[in-house]
Amino acid sequence: GAVVSQHPSWVICKSGTSVKIECRSLDFQATTMFWYRQFPKQSLMLMATSNEGSKATYEQGVEKDKFLINHASLTLSTLTVTSAHPEDSSFYICSASYRARGNEQFFGPGTRLTVL
């Protein structure tokens, strides 16, 4: 149990376009969802935290107008990278947690974004 999926697994887009990444908790209702960014050979950096039906809380230095997070339901959160540029190319990972499992985070498989 506690499976998290992400779609797409990889995406290539042109500079200036927007890209949406979906994160779904498949067999549980997530209390909270998290979005991370990971550059090659580096650690995970938390971008934002979101609860269903409320605005996301962004970490310092993360542009909220650039990285739009919508947590529409207890099983779905989306990250939209708006007007993407090559420097936005990265690996994006989501995770989800719920209270019945002690708020342990369950991770999605990640999405590789390449902006040309």
* Binding-site ranges for another protein (CB under 8 A): 32, 34, 38, 42-44, 46, 49, 51, 57, 91, 93, 95, 97, 103-105, 107, 109-110
Nearer to another protein, 15 or 55 (CB): 55
Q: Are 37 and 91 in contact (CB under 8 A)?
A: yes
Gap between the Cα atoms of 81 and 85, Å rounded: 9
Min dist. Cβ of residue 16 to another protein (A)? 27
Within a 10 A sphere around the Cβ of 74, how many other Cβ atoms?
A: 17
In the complex, the smallest distance separating the C-beta of residue 14 from another protein, rounded to whole angstroms, is: 24
Nearer to another protein, 78 or 95 (CB): 95
Place of tokens 């999605």: 108
Nearest approach in angstroms of CB 36 to another protein is 9
Alpha-carbon dihedral sign for residues 39, 112, 3, 73: positive
The phi-psi region of residue 47 (left if phi > 0; otherwise alpha if psi is between -120 and 50; otherwise beta) is: alpha
**Is the CB of 31 or the CB of 82 nearer to another protein?**
31
* Nearer to another protein (CB atom), residue 78 or residue 97: 97
Neighbours of 45 (CB within 10 A): 15
Least Å distance, CB 83 to another protein, is 26
